[in-house]
């Protein structure tokens, strides 16, 4: 398994904050980019795993996915 870092934010939270409101479900911090790590066989699996937890239909936008090198 490889380790991937996924950069994502929530566009619905951003829109809510831009209009002067907080999102009803997610913390305001989700307007900013978050960096999450996931173990996966490849980049496609990493994307599927993160989309399961943070689906696009709920406003989550993946900005980038990078493989974290194994320095062992």
Domain range summary for the chain, segments of one domain joined by +: 2-68
Q: How high is the pLDDT of residue 24? A: 94
The tokens describing 65, both together, are 């996915």
Q: How high is the pLDDT of residue 71? A: 78
The tokens describing 64, both together, are 């980038």
Q: Where are the beta strands (DSSP E) in 1-72?
A: 2-10, 34-40, 60-68
pLDDT digits (tens, 9 = 90+) for 11-51: 999 999 999 999 999 999 999 999 999 999 999 999 999 99
Confirm or reject CATH 3.10.20 for domain 2-68, answering yes or no: yes
Could you tell me the pTM of the whole model? 0.90
């Amino acid at each position: 398994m490889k380790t991937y870092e996924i950069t994502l934010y929530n566009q619905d939270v951003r829109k809510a904050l831009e209009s002067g409101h907080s999102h009803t479900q997610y913390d305001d911090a989700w307007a900013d980019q978050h960096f999450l790590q996931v173990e996966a066989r490849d980049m496609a699996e990493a994307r599927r795993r993160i989309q399961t937890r943070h689906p696009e239909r709920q406003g989550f936008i993946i900005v980038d996915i990078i493989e974290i090198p194994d320095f062992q």
